[in-house]
């Protein structure tokens, strides 16, 4: 049944009416003679293909003319300048350029496509929202030696010249130490103290400039970490001086054991019962630098030797304690006999050498960890236990304690807590106060400044 149905005829598009007369004649059914224009038929007009007319119709000939008759070919055409010339296809009129400036027009010119000024459909890449400029400057100028010298105050110049005098005392001690190994060791200690005094003056002078303490993008913590680097270099120097003293003592021990010395030494001691002027100079210079210049004060706070912390402020510093104790013993040595003096001198020299190695190793470890942005002090484990003991704390996900320089430490903790908003504010203040009191020495103790940042993750019970 379905195959017998007729196929539907598609609709026919209506033909628009013709515009020219030829198309109207074709559509009207009037017969048209297509051979009327053929040159092979007798009805074609004569004379068009004659040899005379070929030259006229050829554009390569000088007699070429578009005129349909000889009368039209001889008619001249007037051009724009008033001259008359015969009509032809290459008869161009002369055009005079205008002397007025050409007005630039954007009509017909294609401009570059700009996403910012285009339509909404072409705004594929949107501009980022404007941000406020950073509060930190990119960098600050580092002062030169001439600028440092011009910025020094009268007090700073006095302290600078005193540090040079302290170095002169170290050189004088080494020059007069040919009769005693302990005096040679003392000269090394005074040299270390004089370098520390000079570093204190340099830090004080650099504090006159903004770049020393102000944070920048290039130096996030200012230039204060340069003091840590200089102290690390001094600690390495102290360690090597202690090793040099140990090798010197071993050489003298081998000389006494019967081996022939490579460089003979003459040991002259101070006369019995007299006062050793060199020891007096060492004690006085050490006290002046310790009290007036606060020499090794920041290093002493970073070291924290528990055995000597209960002593007075000057003796609580390990560097000052070692220098003053050695100078005092050398001041008392001329009161003993010559035989005891020889053994005490060697024993004191060896003790100072090992003490210098121990102090240098401790300084290298402490300042090296400070350069690596870590904290080597004690009490961190106790602080973590106290924080975990709080009822509002579920756990500590991360805890980082690190020291930037002598005066700044940072603590970053991430905790899982629970409680109301007031309890969380109380917990934040409690943890900050706990870290500052336990690790920083408390308010007014003069210890390191702690910056504490806490991140709470609230646990839903």
pLDDT of residue 414: 92
pLDDT of residue 240: 93
pLDDT of residue 309: 63
Q: Does pLDDT of 61 surpass 60? A: no
CATH topology of domain 380-458: Alpha-Beta Plaits (3.30.70)
193-215: b (≥16 Cβ within 10 Å) or e: bbbbbbbbbbbbbbeebebbeee
pLDDT of residue 444: 46
| Least confidently predicted of 151-160, 161-170, 316-325 | 316-325
Q: Does domain 145-371 have CATH number 1.10.10?
A: no
What mean pLDDT is reported for the chain? 75
pLDDT (mean) for 173-189: 85
Please give the C-alpha separations between residue 310 and each of 216, 284, 305, 346, in angstroms, as whole numbers: 40, 23, 10, 30
pLDDT of residue 97: 65
414 - beta bridge partners? 398, 455
Q: Does pLDDT of 91 surpass 90? A: no
pTM for the model = 0.64
Q: Which residues 6+ apart lie within 8 Å of 57 measured at CB? A: 64
| Least confidently predicted of 6-15, 190-199, 373-382 | 6-15
pLDDT of residue 264: 45
pLDDT of residue 238: 92
Confirm whether 145-371 and 380-458 share one CATH topology. no
Over residues 117-154, the pLDDT tens digits come to: 555 545 566 677 887 776 777 888 888 889 999 999 99
Q: Are 286 and 190 in contact (CB under 8 A)?
A: yes
Please give the C-alpha separations between residue 68 and each of 41, 47, 72, in angstroms, as whole numbers: 22, 12, 7
Tell which wins on pLDDT, 114 or 213. Answer: 213
Sketch the domain layout of the chain as residue ranges.
145-371, 380-458
Tell which wins on pLDDT, 6 or 81. Answer: 6
CA distance 336 to 357: 28
Over residues 28-43, the pLDDT tens digits come to: 555 556 666 666 666 6
Which pLDDT band, with edges at 50, 70 and 90, does 357 fall under?
Answer: very high
Over residues 218-258, the pLDDT tens digits come to: 888 888 889 899 999 999 999 999 999 998 888 877 776 66
């Amino acid at each position: 049944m379905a195959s017998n149905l007729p196929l539907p005829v598609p609709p026919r598009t209506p033909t628009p009416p013709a515009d020219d007369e030829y198309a109207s004649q074709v559509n009207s059914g009037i017969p048209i003679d297509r051979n009327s224009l053929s040159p092979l038929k007798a009805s074609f007009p004569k004379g068009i293909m004659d040899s005379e007319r070929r030259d006229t119709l050829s554009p390569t000939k000088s007699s070429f003319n578009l005129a349909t008759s000889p009368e039209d070919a001889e008619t001249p055409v007037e051009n724009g300048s008033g001259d008359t010339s015969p009509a032809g296809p290459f008869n161009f009129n002369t055009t005079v350029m205008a002397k007025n400036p050409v007005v630039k027009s954007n009509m017909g010119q294609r401009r570059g496509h700009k996403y910012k000024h285009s339509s909404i459909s072409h705004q594929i890449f949107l501009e980022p929202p404007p941000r406020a400029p950073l509060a930190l400057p990119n960098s600050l100028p580092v002062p030169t030696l001439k600028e440092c010298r011009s910025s020094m105050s009268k007090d700073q110049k006095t302290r600078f010249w005193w540090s040079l005098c302290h170095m002169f005392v170290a050189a004088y001690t080494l020059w007069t130490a040919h009769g005693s190994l302990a005096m040679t060791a003392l000269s090394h200690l005074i040299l270390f103290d004089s370098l520390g005094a000079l570093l204190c003056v340099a830090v004080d002078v650099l504090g006159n400039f903004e770049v020393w303490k102000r944070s920048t993008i290039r130096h996030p913590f200012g230039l204060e970490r340069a003091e840590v680097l200089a102290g690390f270099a001094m600690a390495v120097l102290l360690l090597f001086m202690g090793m040099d003293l140990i090798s010197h003592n071993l050489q003298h021990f081998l000389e006494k054991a019967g081996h022939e010395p490579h460089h003979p030494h003459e040991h002259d001691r101070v006369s019995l019962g007299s006062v050793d002027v060199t020891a007096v100079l060492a004690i006085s210079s050490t006290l002046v630098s310790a009290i007036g210049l606060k020499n090794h004060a920041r290093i002493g706070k970073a070291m924290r030797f528990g055995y000597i912390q209960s002593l007075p402020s000057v003796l609580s510093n390990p560097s000052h304690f070692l220098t003053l104790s050695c100078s005092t013993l050398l001041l008392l040595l001329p009161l003993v006999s010559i035989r005891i003096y020889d053994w005490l001198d060697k024993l004191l020299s060896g003790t100072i050498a090992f003490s210098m190695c121990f102090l240098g190793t401790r300084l290298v470890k402490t300042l090296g960890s400070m350069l690596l942005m870590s904290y080597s002090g004690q009490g961190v484990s106790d602080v973590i236990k106290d924080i975990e003991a709080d009822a509002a704390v579920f756990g500590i996900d991360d805890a980082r304690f690190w020291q930037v320089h002598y005066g700044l430490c940072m603590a970053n903790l991430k905790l899982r807590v629970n409680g109301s908003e007031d309890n969380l504010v109380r917990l934040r203040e409690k943890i900050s106060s706990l870290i500052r009191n336990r690790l920083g020495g408390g308010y007014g103790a003069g210890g390191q400044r702690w910056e504490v940042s806490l991140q709470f993750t609230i646990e839903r019970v």
